[in-house]
Structure 1
Amino acid sequence: MKRILIAFSLFVFCLAQTTHAQTFRTIKGWSDDVNNRLESFLNSTIVMKERKVAVFDCDGTTFGQVPHYLADEALYQYADDVLKTRSDKASKEKLDILDRMVKNGNNVGKVYVEDRIHFLAGLTPEQIETIGYDCYRKSYKGKFYPEMKELIANLKEYDFEVWILTASPELLYQKFVAEELGLSTINILGAKCVIEGGKTTGEIIPPIPQDDGKAHTIETFIKARPLIVGGNSRGDMDMLNESFGLQIVVNPDDKTVRGPEDGPMNGHTVKSYWEKEGALIVKCNDVADPKMDFHTTKWKIRQNRPNPK
């Protein structure tokens, strides 16, 4: 009789754990329609035995990018606060790289993204991590979208692996993103470089998670086709198309009509394209804090468009 009671207790315990791990929790701030669609999809994955993978873009998808990308603010902040106080050759070379980036102006372009890595070259991984973390605490604390944090919490309950992809330097983002989203730093993938003798180099390890490079990063490093992919911009199109389940698009632009260079998005705004494709469109509040001064503004880097909810 005692053995039966023990066995029954274990069964009830395991059942309770399973039920808890597969219970959807309503995401405050999103409509009933969005929540119902998410819950229905997640419940459909309960019986799956293979890896369940969800992949999300970072800036603008998991946290705010208004008025500037954190990757830019971290670099320009470091230049103003540290490099401009020095006169050594290495510091002058880094400031020259920033001047080149400013003249380039296209802070979502491949050359600009690579120059972020070149700017940080010579620093230790720990130094870069600190630059990113300090910038986050100073200028971006509180800008992670609560809805996305709740979504990621739901995904964990349904036994999903959650990965974050960013075109920004990986070492710059890993600590604060992992901390805010409750993930391992291993699951934060960005632009990588070779590390030699304890210091970073300007040698970039492809693919860079930018445009089609995001799709290649999934194949190269995650090695599984995701059930869920989330993004916010034209640059996430290739990555979103890697999903064989649900596509989630956060604050998509509905003003700029894309051209022939944007392939299948030609003639559409980002929003109208993904509406046509049946993606789940969601809103998160992303506006500038008028009390916050940004170094990036002073360097005259273009500002991102606000998305008030």
Structure 2
Amino acid sequence: MRLKKILRKALLIGGFSLAFIGISLAQSYHQISGWDQTVNQRIESFLNSTRIIKERKVAVFDCDGTLFGQAPYYLADEAIYQFAKETYANKRDSLSKAKMAIIDAMLHGDNVGINYVKNRIAFLAGLTPDEVKTIGKNCFHEKYQRKFYPEMRELLANLQAYGFEIWVLSASPELLYQQFVQENLGIPADRILGVKSVVNQHKVTDQLVYPIPQDAGKADAIQTFIKARPLFVGGNSRGDLEMMNESVGLKLIVNPDNEKVEKGPDAGAMKGYTVKGYWDAHDGLTVYCQDIPEGDYTYITKEWGIPANKSHAKKSN
């Protein structure tokens, strides 16, 4: 009888030990090869500090420029302009005229304001959700399939190993990005959030669902849709400021601009700083990923006169 108790106790202790070893092995950090030791040490230290957290561990990332390259042009714009040229340009029917009027407004207006975001959705209205997903997926495979940053893939793998929920929050149309982002990063589609609109009778409408994840709306979207304060947030621009300040842990800034000084009423707390300067002063972790044009592609965005986005050759971190 005593021997049985001893064996039972040993097995129990061994079980706990194996479970602890399993957790330790699962939550082990793998060095991100494209970033230097200082960056890796800070990320690893942060992740190790989250091991004791039993509640939801949430990480939120912007998409364009953060997970995914945006040079020379945004995928959302190229996908929409290419579809417009192939489907509606130079046609005289009422639908084609109406859609090209929206394109004209996009081409000659502010491409970072709320009206631009609304025009993207208005252009896609009338299509089925699957048709919109296919437009994004086809453009990705044709011109952008090498644009996901390998360093960010490795970071996401580390976050998953430490039990984080990973969310994507973009100011691009949600349906346009969901499929190709899900297929390439393994993030569930319902955690890939963008600008939403009501779907009625199986068709996309121009009736927006608020909050719109643009600028301060990204912070509202975290509170409305994700419903948790993130421990880790990654962004790349002024538009991610409020979202990144939702983080109660680490704030990662990718390829931040260090030339343009933010000013005017839209600058918010970043007024008087460059993007990099602001996060250097507010405990952000700056990292760099290579974002340069690749392949000899014909971009309709270029053909229709939109200036190219700034390239980022890889810098040391």
| Shorter-chain TM-score range | over 0.9
The residue number in structure 2 matching 1:301 is: 306
Which of the numbers 225, 230, 233 marks the counterpart of 1:226? Answer: 230
Relative distance call for 1:7 and 1:304 in structure 2 (3 A) is: same
Percentage of matched positions with identical amino acids: 51
The residue number in structure 1 matching 2:270 is: 265
Amino acid at match of 1:165: L
- CA distance in 1: counterparts of 2:26 and 2:162, whole angstroms: 6
Amino acid at match of 1:129: K
> CA offsets per residue over residues 142-174 of structure 1, 9 Å max, x none?
100000110011000000011000011100000
Which of the numbers 25, 32, 38 marks the counterpart of 2:30? Answer: 25
The residue number in structure 1 matching 2:245 is: 241
Which of the numbers 173, 178, 182 marks the counterpart of 1:178? Answer: 182
Partner-residue secondary structure (3-state), 1:51: coil
CA root-mean-square deviation: 1.6
Q: How does 1:109-188 map to 2 (within 5 A)?
A: 109-188=113-192
- CA distance in 1: counterparts of 2:100 and 2:126, whole angstroms: 14
Give the C-alpha shift of residue 20 in structure 1: 2.2
Say whether 1:253 aligns with 2:257: yes
User: Contact 1:255–1:269 at 8 Å: present in 2 too?
Assistant: yes
The residue number in structure 2 matching 1:67 is: 72
User: Contact 1:20–1:157 at 8 Å: present in 2 too?
Assistant: no
Amino acid at match of 2:115: V
- CA distance in 1: counterparts of 2:83 and 2:154, whole angstroms: 32
- CA distance in 1: counterparts of 2:199 and 2:207, whole angstroms: 9
The residue number in structure 2 matching 1:36 is: 41
- CA distance in 1: counterparts of 2:144 and 2:92, whole angstroms: 30
The number of equivalent residue pairs is 308
Amino acid at match of 1:152: L
Give the C-alpha shift of residue 302 in structure 1: 2.5
Query: For structure 1, which segment, 254-263 or 266-275, has the greater mean C-alpha deviation from structure 2 after superposition?
Result: 254-263
User: Contact 1:228–1:245 at 8 Å: present in 2 too?
Assistant: yes
Amino acid at match of 2:261: V
- CA distance in 2: counterparts of 1:245 and 1:5, whole angstroms: 40
Query: For structure 1, which segment, 4-13 or 84-93, has the greater mean C-alpha deviation from structure 2 after superposition?
Result: 4-13
Say whether 1:281 aligns with 2:282: no
Partner-residue secondary structure (3-state), 1:242: coil
Larger C-alpha radius of gyration, 1 or 2? 2
Give the C-alpha shift of residue 87 in structure 1: 4.8
* Structure 1 gaps, min length 5: none
The residue number in structure 2 matching 1:208 is: 212
Amino acid at match of 1:292: Y
- CA distance in 1: counterparts of 2:308 and 2:99, whole angstroms: 23
> CA offsets per residue over residues 260-285 of structure 1, 9 Å max, x none?
42122122110011001110000000
**Any runs of at least 4 consecutive aligned residues in structure 1 with deviations exceeding 6 A, and if so which?**
none
The residue number in structure 2 matching 1:291 is: 296
Partner-residue secondary structure (3-state), 2:89: helix
Partner-residue secondary structure (3-state), 1:23: coil
Give the C-alpha shift of residue 303 in structure 1: 1.6
Partner-residue secondary structure (3-state), 1:20: helix
- CA distance in 2: counterparts of 1:89 and 1:97, whole angstroms: 13
Amino acid at match of 1:92: K
Give the C-alpha shift of residue 16 in structure 1: 3.5
